[in-house]
Structure 1
Amino acid sequence: MTAANKPARRRSLATRLMLVASLWSVAALAVAGFILVELFRDTVERGLDSQLEVYQKAIIGAMAPSDGETINRPENLGEPRFSLPLSGWYWTIADWPEWKLVYASGSLVGDPLLVPPLPFGQRTGGGFATGPGGEELRVSQRIISFDGKSYLIAVGGKTEGLRKDLAAFTEQVVLTLSVFGIGLIAAIFVQVRFGLLPIRRMQQSLAAVRDGEAEQIDENVPRELAPLAIELNALIRSNAEIVERARTHVGNLAHALKTPLSVISNEANANGGDAFAQKVAEQAQLMRTQVDHHLERARQAAQRRVIGVATPVEPTLARLMRAMSRIHGDRGLAFSAELDPVVRFRGEQQDLEELAGNLIDNACKWARTRVDLKVTLIASAPDERALLEIIVEDDGPGLTEEQRREAVKRGRRLDESVPGTGLGLSIVADLAALYGGRFELAAAGIGGLRAKLVLPAAAG
């Protein structure tokens, strides 16, 4: 098979549907997971900001001056971590805008709390900063005034707990969405397989029709596929009607032509001594031969279009071999046959009999002592059609390469002493071509001619 004749690599509809749905599901779950993590991050940050604002308000309440002039140092905010050295929780009070430190929490142990500057014109703010111990802090700032003097109050808390909560939540989200994604992909697989099951059943029904196991496709299919099944059955019925009409026309034409030719031949033979009559008789016989050939070819073409016909090979060829052994029994030929009982020909029995019969009969005419027949199923790729191979060999004189080419031409007889019309091998070649097969002649391993016939095989 050439590269041009090789079938294109078929794409699976089920694979395409599952791939697209799976990719979309994975992308959607990834986006959903990202959104969930960001929402959780925003929630925990706002929770920490709210906690810092509570401490900030407590500091403002505690520092309110009792004498109306000097602010008080906040002592007890209900949070012992503000007193533990480098605990990660800090507060400072500084003059504004001089940034001169007034009071600081004991946890700072004399180190400054570096906070980001407030945007111009704003009196509150927040964000992230680095603490004295190098840890990341979440900071809340506010500017307040007492008796015309402004102070900047900054409260910070470490984000270590926030990061741990966020990492734990992210891990849970990834695990949960991964399990959900695997389940979703499995559900998509089942859904696609279940959804395409009617198409697979229709394919099997069509294969049964093609192999001769059923006469029409099962129309009990889902509503979306019912029109296709109905149209295919209509096509099968139309094909059968066309074949029947073609056979009727072939028969009518045969009767219409053969009768006048018989009259012409009889009249010519009645005047056998006349040179003109002999010429007429010769040409009438040639016309009869040509008519037989073309009518046979037309019949073969009609039969080739029959859908759903399959013929078991083993009983048909075994019957032919028995018939040939009786016909040529006086020559003492030895017959051997290797027939695979599971092989079936995708075509009509009479065509198989004509194809193999011509080859076996031709081998018997030329064989000296033996005729061998072998039928095998040719291995093929899953996406290619199945083929069977019929090989007939004899131990006769054989043919040269030039003679083998001439032998398959219509009406050519290489030896006039052997009876026949010269149409046998040409009919085999034509009929094999009509079935999409091929016919080859070669030298046989046992010394004579080897005829190989490759035909379409039906499913076993």
Structure 2
Amino acid sequence: MNALRAKSLSFRLLTSEGLVLAAFFALVAVVLEQGFRESAEEALKERLQVQVYSLLSSAELKDNGELSVSQNLQDPRFMNPGSGLYGFIRQTNKKQVWSSPSAIGLDPPPLPDMAPGEPAFTREKRNRYAFHYRVIWQTLAGMEREYLFTVVEDGDFVEQQVKHFAVTLWTWLLVIGVVLIFIQFSLLRWSLKPLRRIVRDLESIEKGTRSRLDHYYATELQGLANNLNAFISSERAHLERYRNTLADLAHSLKTPLAILHGCAHSFQGNQDAVIEQLTYMDKIIQYQLQRAAAKGESKTVGASDVSDIIRKTVASLTKVYLDKGISFDLNIPEASPVYYEEGDLYEIIGNLLDNASKWCRKTVRVQVALKQRKNRRNYAVFLLIEDDGPGIPQQKLGEILKRGVRADENIHGHGIGMAVVSDLIELLDGKLEGMPSKTLGGMSWSVYLP
């Protein structure tokens, strides 16, 4: 499931757009939250400035130089201990002249560096804000006094405002984000609809229900559809030509084969062997003729016995290579039923055993195992064929699977046997591995069929 999502273009686009959108909303939320905090602090500053002016209006410098503050302050919170609003009046020598009843037990905030008539707004410890104002008063007698008026307020109200704003902001951004992602998903599906349509048409062509891409596609995809149609037509023409050629070949061989079959009855001695081989050749031609006429149609496949095919092939090769006296070491089950075309299995096993017999010195070993697992994949049958011949150089292993290439040009052959084996195994979604034999010293071929 994760692999399918990783390959999905829609999933990748939607994920990337979602990540960009989330990053953008997070940045917007941080900026707006910081802006709201600064705005709330600015409002608090103006409010504290009003409180300082209120203290100034309530204070009076007497002729003897003493400062007195009226008990009837404008804000009653100054009179309640722990109310969150505190007032302090100090001289420039840090001597405290007055503090509000609400500031009992509290120390005044540090004195900022400021000139007379200049205000200062600071944020103190324990989430408190302070507004300072420095003044110089002169009595009627000409006596001057310098005082620092300070009003402190707890920042809980500001924090509550910011928290409430943040919750509201993130909630709405989340709702908007979900709506935008849904809109993006809808637009993405609508935008990729032509691609999904062409994919469905290609699947119909693969199933055989449609012969070409004949719908009207988006302008950007029309060129692709035309190229695919040209490619499909070309491949069908090639395939039809191959089928016709193979059918003609099979038909042309049937008559000479029938004549040979009839003449074989007049042979003496090896008559049974000749008839057996002619029958085997006839089966091969019938199989190839059926493949040529199949035209890609899927047919129900019955069970074929791998062990029986190996025994019959070995019996034939023993007669063909009688002069070599080959020892066939068979490690196979009594029966190995698998659901494959018998002709395909004859092609694979026959070519591999024929090559092993051709190149071996004296020994060919065959091993069959059912229900094998390799590279986290289950296989229905495993076939191992080894010989004690000279083997194949590592650099030629890939070359001999190509048509027309032989391991040794001095040896008779057409160079298509291993290519046929490789093509068949690939069509059957199997796996073919070639390597030097560790036990016999020659070549080792491993075949895995699902």
TM-score scaled by structure 2? 0.56
Give 1:248 deviation, angstroms: 5.0
Kept in 1, the 8 Å contact 2:213–2:225? The answer is yes
Q: State the match for 1:227 in structure 2.
A: 223
Tell whether 2:149 aligns with 1:153: yes
The unaligned stretches of length 5 or more in structure 1 are 1-7, 274-282, 311-344, 346-351, 353-387, 393-398, 415-423, 440-454
Tell whether 2:51 aligns with 1:55: yes
Give 1:68 deviation, angstroms: 11
Distance 2:238 2:190 in 1: 38
Give 1:154 deviation, angstroms: 0.4
Q: State the match for 2:202 in structure 1.
A: 206
Distance 2:110 2:224 in 1: 73
Q: State the match for 1:32 in structure 2.
A: 28
Give 1:108 deviation, angstroms: 3.0
Give 1:206 deviation, angstroms: 1.0
Distance 1:70 1:298, change over 3 A: farther
Q: State the match for 1:390 in structure 2.
A: 302
Kept in 1, the 8 Å contact 2:287–2:343? The answer is no
* Paired letter, 2:427: G
1:277-298 CA-partner distances (Å, limit 9, x unpaired): xxxxxx9xx99x9799689759
1:256-280 CA-partner distances (Å, limit 9, x unpaired): 9999x79x99xxx9xxx9xxxxxxx
Give 1:50 deviation, angstroms: 0.9
Give 1:9 deviation, angstroms: 4.5
Distance 2:175 2:344 in 1: 66
Distance 1:438 1:156 in 2: 81
Q: State the match for 1:407 in structure 2.
A: 312
Distance 1:78 1:407, change over 3 A: same
Give 1:390 deviation, angstroms: 2.4
1:14-42 CA-partner distances (Å, limit 9, x unpaired): 33333333333333323322322222221
Q: State the match for 2:165 in structure 1.
A: 169
* Paired letter, 1:118: P
* Paired letter, 1:206: L
Q: State the match for 1:15 in structure 2.
A: 11
* Paired letter, 2:150: A
Tell whether 2:134 aligns with 1:143: yes
Kept in 2, the 8 Å contact 1:141–1:152? The answer is yes
Q: State the match for 2:237 in structure 1.
A: 241
Give 1:202 deviation, angstroms: 2.1
Distance 1:31 1:303 in 2: 67
Distance 1:22 1:408, change over 3 A: farther
Distance 1:299 1:113, change over 3 A: same
Distance 1:161 1:410 in 2: 99
Distance 1:184 1:389, change over 3 A: farther
* Paired letter, 2:129: R
Distance 2:108 2:119 in 1: 16
Distance 2:216 2:249 in 1: 42
Query: Which residue, 94, 98, 102 being the options, matches 1:103?
Result: 98
Give 1:140 deviation, angstroms: 0.7
* Paired letter, 2:130: V
Query: Secondary structure of the equivalent of 1:221?
Result: coil
Q: State the match for 1:380 in structure 2.
A: none
Distance 1:66 1:196, change over 3 A: same
Kept in 1, the 8 Å contact 2:67–2:97? The answer is no
Give 1:52 deviation, angstroms: 0.5
Give 1:409 deviation, angstroms: 8.1
The unaligned stretches of length 5 or more in structure 2 are 139-143, 267-273, 320-340, 349-422, 431-448
Tell whether 2:7 aligns with 1:44: no
Query: Secondary structure of the equivalent of 2:43?
Result: helix
Give 1:79 deviation, angstroms: 1.9
Give 1:210 deviation, angstroms: 0.8
Give 1:402 deviation, angstroms: 6.4
Query: Secondary structure of the equivalent of 1:99?
Result: coil
Query: Secondary structure of the equivalent of 2:80?
Result: coil
Q: Sequence identity, in percent?
A: 22
Distance 1:438 1:41, change over 3 A: closer
Kept in 2, the 8 Å contact 1:297–1:430? The answer is no
Kept in 2, the 8 Å contact 1:118–1:124? The answer is no
Distance 2:84 2:344 in 1: 100
Q: State the match for 1:127 in structure 2.
A: 122
Distance 1:225 1:102, change over 3 A: same
Query: Secondary structure of the equivalent of 1:162?
Result: helix
1:281-330 CA-partner distances (Å, limit 9, x unpaired): xx9xx99x979968975994x778x6xx54xxxxxxxxxxxxxxxxxxxx
Q: CA RMSD in A?
A: 5.1
How many residues were matched structurally? 326
Distance 2:246 2:106 in 1: 111
Kept in 2, the 8 Å contact 1:219–1:229? The answer is no
Kept in 1, the 8 Å contact 2:344–2:424? The answer is no
* Paired letter, 2:131: S
Distance 1:242 1:57, change over 3 A: same
TM-score scaled by structure 1? 0.55
Distance 1:205 1:234 in 2: 15
Distance 2:112 2:66 in 1: 25
Give 1:408 deviation, angstroms: 5.6
Give 1:113 deviation, angstroms: 4.0
Kept in 2, the 8 Å contact 1:409–1:426? The answer is no
1:420-448 CA-partner distances (Å, limit 9, x unpaired): xxxx9546744993882399xxxxxxxxx
- By relative contact order (CA 8 Å, sep 6+), the higher-ranking structure is 1
Q: How does 1:267-278 map to 2 (within 5 A)?
A: none
Distance 1:224 1:298, change over 3 A: farther
Give 1:215 deviation, angstroms: 0.4
Distance 2:429 2:150 in 1: 94
Distance 1:189 1:438 in 2: 37
Distance 1:241 1:292, change over 3 A: farther
Q: How does 1:73-88 map to 2 (within 5 A)?
A: 73=69, 78-88=74-84
